[in-house]
């Protein structure tokens, strides 16, 4: 059965290491909640670059940029100064217009933070656009 949506990427998850710096923490010495969004953003950027997708070129040539449409997240455990964390990024589904990712922040084997992130493409005027065909092919 053909479908424009594919679920669960068969590839292993992308892995991205993060060290918690003092600037990442709050007065209690734990990672400030908004910084988890920075950690997963860095991981997504590294994942995209690792697939050979040049976002600058995509913007200049195709007048398209990626934008986060939705994030649903859970804070499970506190991470602290000098923790070594790992962000795992996996494709949950790809359609013509959106990409849904599952991202986890782990400390060792312990999940600290999880997120489901929906990414879309926008034109340089801010209008929604289909994901470029070459990118959909890479992700399928």
Does residue 26 have an active-site annotation? yes
Q: Which of 17, 24, 26, 83 is catalytic?
A: 26
d(CA 107, CA 139): 27
Write down how long the chain is: 140
Q: Cβ–Cβ contacts within 10 Å for residue 63, how many?
A: 12
> Residues 90, 92, 94, 97: what is their CA dihedral angle, to the nearest 10 degrees?
-100
CA-based nearest residue to 50, from 19, 85, 18, 15:
15
Question: To which H or E segment does residue 39 belong?
Answer: helix 33-50
Known catalytic residues?
26
């Amino acid at each position: 059965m053909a479908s424009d949506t594919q679920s669960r990427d068969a590839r292993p998850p992308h892995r991205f290491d993060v060290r918690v710096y003092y600037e990442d923490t709050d007065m209690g010495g734990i990672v400030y909640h908004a910084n988890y969004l920075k950690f997963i953003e860095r991981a997504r950027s590294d994942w995209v670059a690792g697939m050979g997708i040049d976002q600058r070129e995509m913007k200049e040539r195709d007048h398209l940029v990626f934008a986060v449409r939705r994030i649903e997240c859970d804070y499970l455990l506190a991470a602290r100064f000098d923790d070594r964390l790992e962000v795992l990024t996996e494709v949950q589904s790809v359609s013509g217009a959106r990409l849904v990712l599952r991202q986890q922040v782990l400390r060792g084997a312990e999940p600290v933070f999880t997120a489901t992130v929906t990414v879309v493409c926008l034109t340089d005027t801010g209008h929604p656009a289909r994901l470029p065909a070459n990118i959909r092919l890479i992700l399928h």
